[in-house]
């Protein structure tokens, strides 16, 4: 990533996006954990994990923000790079932890049988970890060919997960109480749409964006995707859990 062509405006915009991400993730965490008492005991673990996902993300946005601020000097109204590296790996470290947790969260809220819960958690969680690990070498490479190769490799587990979710969720929806079917459909759509965003953002530098514009688009793009896939999704899961708790008479 070439940071030296960023403008002061782009730098500030990205910095504000990171601070916004941090505030949203921290607020979502608190909101979700405060809401644990509003759902039936059977759904509490799902809500706990929802909040854990946003808490882990809040920590990583703090680290990303500090790393970003250290990489630039804005003193005197002009932007210069300081030479401190901007550590992009924090995103991948975050995903390695949170993407499997998000999948577990989704599986838990469906309240499948114990064995199905465990087997789905393992296969989907493993595929997710593989997807992240395969994407990283391309993200940090300056070479377009390498970026594309790893994109393709990472897409394989990605497609597997999306397919499983769509099919699995569709199958499970018929067994869900009527008043949450719409919501679960919504959650499935949200997952697919927001997850699709990541491989697209990853391609930005390959489709003509260069320099400061590419950096800004990638960082802001991932931040928006993270807010949707973690915070908005967590609140949707909470809503589903509240509705199901009501329906089941808690």
Shortest distance, position 53 Cβ to ligand RET, whole Å? 6
Site string for ligand RET, 153-172 (x = CB under 6 A): -xx--x--------------
Taking contact as CB under 8 A, which single stretch among the options 42-50, 124-132, 180-188, 190-198 is the one that binds its own copies? 42-50
Nearest to 229 by CA among 21, 19, 17, 13: 21
Q: With CB cut-offs between 5 and 8 Å by kind, which of its own copies, ligand RET, Na ion, none does residue 80 bind? A: Na ion
Q: Give the Cα separation of 69 and 248 in Å (integer).
A: 49
Taking contact as CB under 5 A, which single stretch among the options 75-83, 146-154, 184-192, 216-224 is the one that binds Na ion? 75-83
Taking contact as CB under 8 A, which single stretch among the options 55-63, 105-113, 127-135, 198-206 is the one that binds its own copies? 55-63
Q: Output the residue with the shortest Cβ distance to Na ion.
A: 78
- Candidates 84, 126, 159, 171; binder of its own copies (CB under 8 A) is 84
Report if residue 227 touches ligand RET, rule: CB under 6 A.
Answer: no
Nearest to 105 by CA among 179, 187, 198: 187
- Candidates 78, 113, 115, 174; binder of Na ion (CB under 5 A) is 78
Neighbour count for residue 18 (Cβ, 10 Å): 22
Q: Give the Cα separation of 80 and 4 in Å (integer).
A: 7
* DSSP 3-state of 80: strand
Distances (CA, A) of 180 to 164, 177, 185, 244: 20, 6, 8, 7
Report if residue 204 touches ligand RET, rule: CB under 6 A.
Answer: no
Cα Rg of the chain, angstroms: 19
Q: Please name the residues in contact with 191: beta carbons below 8 A apart, sequence gap of 6 or more.
A: 106, 165, 229, 233
Report if residue 76 touches Na ion, rule: CB under 5 A.
Answer: yes
Report if residue 86 touches its own copies, rule: CB under 8 A.
Answer: no
Report if residue 226 touches ligand RET, rule: CB under 6 A.
Answer: yes
Site string for its own copies, 4-33 (x = CB under 8 A): --------x--xx--xx--xx-xx--xx-x
Contact set for ligand RET, span 67-106 (CB under 6 A): 95, 98-99, 102
Q: Which helix (H) or strand (E) holds 4?
A: none
Q: Give the Cα separation of 153 and 146 in Å (integer).
A: 11
């Amino acid at each position: 990533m070439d940071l030296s062509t960023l403008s002061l405006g782009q730098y500030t915009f990205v910095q504000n996006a990171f601070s916004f991400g941090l505030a949203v993730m921290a607020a979502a965490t608190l909101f979700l954990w405060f809401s644990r008492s509003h759902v039936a005991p059977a759904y509490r673990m799902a809500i706990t994990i929802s909040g854990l996902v946003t808490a882990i993300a809040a920590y990583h946005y703090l680290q990303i923000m500090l790393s970003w601020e250290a990489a630039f000097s804005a003193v005197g109204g002009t932007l210069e790079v300081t030479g401190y590296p901007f550590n992009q790996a924090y995103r991948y470290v975050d995903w390695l932890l949170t993407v499997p947790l998000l999948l577990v969260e989704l599986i838990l809220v469906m309240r499948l049988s114990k064995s199905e819960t465990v087997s789905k958690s393992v296969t989907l969680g493993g595929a997710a970890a593989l997807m992240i690990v395969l994407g990283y070498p391309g993200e940090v490479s300056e070479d377009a060919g390498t970026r594309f190769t790893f994109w393709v490799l990472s897409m394989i587990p990605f497609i597997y997960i999306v397919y499983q979710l769509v099919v699995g969720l569709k199958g499970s929806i018929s067994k869900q109480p009527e008043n949450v079917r719409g919501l679960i459909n919504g959650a499935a759509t949200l997952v697919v749409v927001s997850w699709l965003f990541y491989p697209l953002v990853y391609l930005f530098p390959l489709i003509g964006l260069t320099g400061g514009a590419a950096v800004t688009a990638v960082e802001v793009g991932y931040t928006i995707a993270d807010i949707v896939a973690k915070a908005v999704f967590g609140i949707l899961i909470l809503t589903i859990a509240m509705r199901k708790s009501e329906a089941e008479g808690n």
